[in-house]
Amino acid sequence: MQYKLSELVAKFGGQLVGEDISVEAISPTDFAALNHITFLSDKKYKKALAECKAGAIIIREEDAADLDLPKIITDNPYYYFSLVSNLFNPRRKLNSQIAASAIIDSTTTIAENPAISHHVVIGANSSIGRNCQIFANVVIGDNVIIGDNVTIYPNVTIYDKVTIGDECVFHSGAVIGSDGFGNAQDAKKHYHRIPQIGGVVIGNRVEIGANTTGDCGTFEATIIKDGARIDNLVQIAHNVSIGAHTGIASQVGIAGNTKIGNHVMLGGNAGIADHVEICDYTVIGASSNVGKNITKPGLYSCGMTAMEYKDWAKAYVHLRNIDKMNNKIREMQAKITLLEGK
């Protein structure tokens, strides 16, 4: 499939400068061919353009002055790249049909233009919106509501009482609505399950990565708001609330009853304790642990930077002896003060 640059501008905006050529793919600068369009989102990579063979480029106006090739000028090249890349590389779609091997309860309603693949199971009193793509081996429970244009990839499990908005994407192995980790101990310290009946509510345009889990709320729902992006292998515990347009990287663990604001970014392997609140526009660095409320937006990080083992071992020895060192410093300060008094 080919597009003229003028067609891209008509679809996505921007300003065309130079010849209106046709392109058939978008590629990074070091892989682009003559019939490709590339992009420059960070000027520190501009030197790479000297060797670039692309036929056209998406670029900011201030970075484009000395380039001869055709250009699409835009204020946000990286976002423009995502639009063009989605145009050239759309998600794979199933044929609009319900496979004979799918098992769908008679009380469930399916809106027009469904694509439901082999061995899908859908429980009672559920509702599937228009143009949904449900791949093989998906299991959807009872009393589930799924909006329009939702894509659910193979082997996803959606438990009972989950509500999902429009245009959401669930990648393979995701589990939504399983029991939260609610247990009570008796006098013998034996654990007993606390029923989790609150369900999960997911907004519009949410994307959830492979093997991510979102637990059911205890009484009230676990909530993931509009536009959130959640990576693979993330654990979201019961009664968590995740704000709109928040991004969560892989291996983050969020304990129960935590409230995360809008436009928050959580770096990979971060851990968030229970009953914590994180305000809007906060960034948590990778491998950081958050144990108390964050009320002021900013960058927070406590992950240790990797170093040679011998250097780490020396630093750890000093860390273990920091109280002793502190006491010695106080003793020295007291002696200096006494000498100065004489």
Active site residues: 238
Gap between the Cα atoms of 272 and 293, Å rounded:
10
Contact status, residue 229 vs residue 249, Cβ threshold 8 Å: no
What DSSP line would sit under 221-234, residue for residue?
PEEE-TT-EE-SS-
Q: Which distant-in-sequence residues (6+ apart) come within 8 Å of 59 by Cβ?
A: 39, 40, 67, 71, 72, 73, 74, 77
Q: Could you list the beta-strand ranges (E) of 42-143.
A: 56-59, 71-73, 103-104, 109-110, 115-116, 121-122, 127-128, 133-134, 139-140
Task: Sort strands 71-73 and 15-17 into parallel, antiparallel or unpaired.
Answer: antiparallel
Contact status, residue 132 vs residue 151, Cβ threshold 8 Å: yes
What DSSP line would sit under 279-300, residue for residue?
-TTEEE-TT-EE-S-B-S-EEE
